[in-house]
Amino acid sequence: MKPILTALAAAVLVTACATTVSPTGRTQYVGAVSQSQLDQLGEQSFAQMKAQQRVSTDARQNAYVNCVVSAIVQQLPANEQRIRWESAVFVDDNPNAFALPGGKVGVYTGIFKVAQDQDQLAAVIAHEIGHVIARHHDERITRQAGASGALQVVGAVLGSRYGEGVGNAAVQGGSIAAQAGFLLPGSRDQESEADVVGQQLMASAGFDPRAAVNLWQNMIAASGGNRPAQWLSTHPDPQSRIGELQSRAQGLVPSWQQARSAGRQPRCG
């Protein structure tokens, strides 16, 4: 891990930031690290997670997740499809999921309690992949680079989004205190944007975009009316979000129907 951290530290210090436009038209500041470095960090972190946490050996669970991931990846831009996408199921009761640069997708077994069919699971996974293709990791690191050291950046950017397991896998013993200060206040835009991108992706892959609404309703019910689990803790108000998802879903139904007519009819589980 040291070579990655050293490279990131150097990159944060010497790389000029760039301005780009997100998939929803939002101005982004990126470029503190290169895409190859982000991919390398994602790959390394994922490998460490698999070595340190219990990975499900349930063939049905793994095939289910892989099927959903594959269907969504087929709708990504060509350059994103060329990445060697990989998924893993981690045995953990938290209703959690994540995606990392380099094409790594992790799903915790707890998500199966709230994502009750393939369309709802697709809503989770497409949202997480949306973060990757919208360059949200690059954006977070670039923002954080202006406020703290590069070594803290690595743990904070992964830990704040995906929990201590990923953060600790990225930086053993590293500080992730910045997650509560600099990263989280700016994350709601990214979360809302990942909702937009993810719902579009799931519809074009042949998954019912209305299932994103059902997923959120299940999340709220599972939380007992409190704010949902960690992976969604930085979202806007749940009820407002349901309204936004519902409104977008109606506009995406024609895209979903077209995808089904074109033969994109996932049968994952």
C-alpha dihedral sign at 201, 202, 205, 210: negative
Q: For 165-205, write each residue's pLDDT tens digit.
A: 444 444 443 333 333 333 343 477 888 899 999 999 999 99
Q: Name the average pLDDT for the chain.
A: 79
Asked if 129 and 238 touch (Cβ cutoff 8 Å), the reply is no
Asked if 208 and 215 touch (Cβ cutoff 8 Å), the reply is no
Whether pLDDT at 226 is above 80: no
Q: What does the pLDDT average to over 29-47?
A: 83
CA-CA distance, 63 to 257, in Å (whole number)?
A: 25
* Range among 2-16, 165-179, 185-199, 251-265 with highest mean pLDDT value: 251-265
Q: What does the pLDDT average to over 200-217?
A: 96
> What's the pLDDT at 236?
60
Residues recognised as catalytic:
128
> What's the pLDDT at 186?
45
Q: What does the pLDDT average to over 76-87?
A: 91
Predicted confidence band of residue 15 (pLDDT cuts 50, 70, 90): very low
Predicted confidence band of residue 17 (pLDDT cuts 50, 70, 90): low
> What's the pLDDT at 173?
36
Alpha-carbon distances of 165 from 56, 77, 113, 249, rounded to whole Å: 16, 30, 21, 33
Asked if 103 and 179 touch (Cβ cutoff 8 Å), the reply is no
Residue percentage of the chain with pLDDT more than 70: 73
Whether pLDDT at 234 is above 90: no
Q: Which of residues 15 and 139 earns the better pLDDT score?
A: 139
Q: Which amino acid is at 251?
A: G
**Concatenated DSSP letters for 194-219?**
HHHHHHHHHHHTT--TTHHHHHHHHH
* Range among 33-47, 86-100, 173-187 with highest mean pLDDT value: 86-100
60: its two tokens: 């049905």
Asked if 46 and 86 touch (Cβ cutoff 8 Å), the reply is yes
Residue percentage of the chain with pLDDT more than 90: 46
Q: What does the pLDDT average to over 236-245?
A: 81
CA-CA distance, 133 to 188, in Å (whole number)?
A: 17
> What's the pLDDT at 44?
87
Whether pLDDT at 11 is above 80: no
Residue 189 CB neighbour total at 10 angstroms: 16
Q: Is 163 left (phi over 0), alpha (psi -120 to 50) or beta?
A: left
Whether pLDDT at 12 is above 50: no
Q: Which of residues 210 and 178 earns the better pLDDT score?
A: 210
